[in-house]
Amino acid sequence: MKKKECTGCMACYNVCPNGSIKMKRDFDGFDYPYINNSTCIKCGKCMKVCPVLQKKSMEGKRDQKSTAVYVGHSIDDKIRRTSASGGIFPLAAKWCIDKGGVVFGAKYDGVRVVHFQADGMEDIQQCQGSKYVQSYIGKTFYDVKKNLEEGRYVLFTGMPCQIEGLKAYLQRDYSKLYTIDLICHGVGAPGIWERYINTFHDKKQIEHIDFKDKKEGWNKEQFVVKYKNGREYRKFPLDDCYCIGFNKNIFLREACYHCLFKGVERSSDLTIGDAWGVEHYASKFRDNKGCSLVFVHSPKGKELFDEIEKWMKYQSVDAVKAVRYNQRMISSVKENPNRHAFYANLKRYSFWLSMHLMMMREKRDEEKLV
């Protein structure tokens, strides 16, 4: 497999029986698996659980699943206010926790974004909100399997490639495993994120980070960094250099530019995301507080949706119309032609100057189109 195809899901890292696979960060700021050939026992398990290799071998062989599509939001305004869109994830998490289960999702560990195990509702809020940085899976696939083998319910949330990696790692279906993936733009580079924080913010003084604060309303979200001294950094996405680089596809993972896991039919039980364009196909849900798009892919997905619908206001919608305004469900973003120039500058200049030059290039390109 070529490096640019690797999603960084870490299934190989989790399955290696003697720790011969380590994750190492490259200059672009992403973690990739590397094999210690002196300790590798050539068992081939890493190849068997790689979702990219499995996807290629199964191309055209999977059964097509029918998908129901809904728009909706939590009827609890507090949940919706603290969620990136309509607050569907915390409802699903509550259902799982109430059954004595555990939830896996992404949180901030300092400024790092990591996957972790939430054992109670007090932990769930850490998983809420968009995080435009690739999460570090660590050994959570191993922890998922351990919980399932103990007979506990598990809800795992993540990117489509992470869900595929988990299922490939498990190698079998577990009746108490439920999965939710996201409508994904692509994942930002953890290394670039850390450089950004170190350059523009004092990470020791950061108390909270929110990429989609809805103080000004949904679809007018702001990037907010709150500090321990009570002050805050608040910018609209096009006024912050990290958000510009992310949204302009400058420092996404290479695999994101040709993602193999897009599509309406997926391995997850539910797919959730912002219901952009909802005013065109379910106008009563456009109230500027946040609305979610929900794709139900499986019988377990329907079971989960049926369990949480009592806490929701929702409506069935036409899948074609919904996807029309949410193209990231089915298609990858294009690599920005300025990506290589940005990384070339980063090898020569400071991070601040490299970002400044990148933003100047973007501005010139935009002016040429006018």
pLDDT, tens only, 264-295: 999 999 999 999 999 999 999 999 899 999 99
Q: Is the pLDDT confidence value at 58 over 70?
A: no
Within-domain flag for 200: no
SS3 content of the chain, % helix, strand, coil (to 5): 40, 20, 40
Burial (CB < 10 A; 0-12, 13-18, 19+), residue 60, is exposed
Which of 200-204, 256-260, 317-321 shows the lowest mean pLDDT across its residues? 200-204
> Based on the domain organization, do 302 and 349 belong to the same domain?
no
Q: Is 153 part of any domain?
A: yes
Q: Is residue 10 part of a domain?
A: yes
Shared domain check, 259 and 117: yes
Report the share of the chain in percent with pLDDT over 70.
97
- Residue 64, pLDDT above cutoff 50: no
> What is the average pLDDT across 230-244?
95
Treating both helix axes as pointing N-terminal to C-terminal, what angle do 351-369 and 190-200 enclose, rounded to 10 degrees? Answer: 110
How far is it, in rounded angstroms, from Cα 54 to Cα 261? 11
Of the pLDDT bands very low, low, confident and very high (cuts 50, 70, 90), residue 61 is very low
Dmax over Cα atoms in the chain, in whole Å? Answer: 62
Residues 121-166 have pLDDT tens digits of 999 999 999 999 999 999 999 999 999 999 999 999 999 999 999 9
pLDDT of 364 above 90: no
Across residues 168-175, what is the average pLDDT? 96
How large is the average pLDDT for residues 190-211?
95
d(CA 78, CA 281): 26
pLDDT attached to residue 60: 46
Degrees (nearest 5) of the Cα angle 253, 258, 263? 115
φ, ψ of residue 145 in degrees (nearest 5): -60, -40
Token pair for 314? 């929702």
Instruction: Please check whether residues 140 and 30 belong to one and the same domain.
Output: no
**Assigned domain for 201 exists:** no
Rounded mean pLDDT of the chain?
94
Residues 160 and 14 in one domain: no
> Could you tell me what percent of the chain has a pLDDT over 90?
91
- Distances from the Cα of 99 to the Cα of 152, 174, 271, 333, angstroms: 9, 16, 21, 38
pLDDT at 63 exceeding the cut of 60: no
Q: Is 368 left (phi over 0), alpha (psi -120 to 50) or beta?
A: alpha
Do 158 and 111 share a domain, yes or no?
yes
Give helix then strand counts, H and E, for the chain: 14, 13
Average pLDDT over residues 168-176: 96
Q: Which amino acid is at 133?
A: V
Q: Do 307 and 158 fall within a single domain?
A: yes
Same-domain check for residues 304 and 273: yes
Please check whether residue 222 lies inside any domain of the structure. no
- Which neighbouring-strand residues pair with 316? 70
Residues 107 and 15 grouped into a single domain: no
Rounded Cα–Cα distance for residues 107 and 222 (Å): 19
Q: Report the half-sphere exposure of 41 (CA within 13 A, side-chain side).
A: 7
pTM comes to: 0.94
pLDDT band at residue 370 under the 50/70/90 scheme: low
370 lies in which domain range?
A: 343-370
User: Helix or strand or coil: residue 292?
Assistant: strand
For residues 101 and 182, membership in a common domain is answered with yes
Q: Are residues 15 and 130 in the same domain?
A: no
Residue 288 lies in a domain: yes
Kindly report the backbone phi and psi dihedral angles of residue 38, in degrees, each rounded to the nearest multiple of 5, phi listed first.
-75, -20
Do both 323 and 347 map to the same domain?
no
Whether 34 and 167 share a structural domain: no
Q: Within a domain: residue 294?
A: yes
Residue 367's pLDDT band (cuts 50, 70, 90): confident
What pairing do the DSSP bridges indicate for beta strands 312-316 and 222-227? unpaired
SS3 category, 116: strand
Q: Is residue 247 pLDDT above 70, yes or no? A: yes
The phi, psi pair for 325, rounded to 5°, reads -100, 5
Decide if pLDDT at 176 tops 70.
Answer: yes
Q: Tell me if residue 174 falls in helix, strand or coil.
A: coil
Distance CA 139, CA 15 (A): 9
Number of domains in the chain: 3
Q: Identify whether the C-beta of residue 37 lies closer than 8 Å to the C-beta of residue 15.
A: no
**Any idea what the Cα angle at residue 181 is, between residues 177 and 184, rounded to 5°?**
165
Residue 91 near residue 157, CB atoms below 8 Å: no
- Contact between 166 and 141 under an 8 Å Cβ cutoff? The reply is yes
* Domain annotation covers residue 310: yes
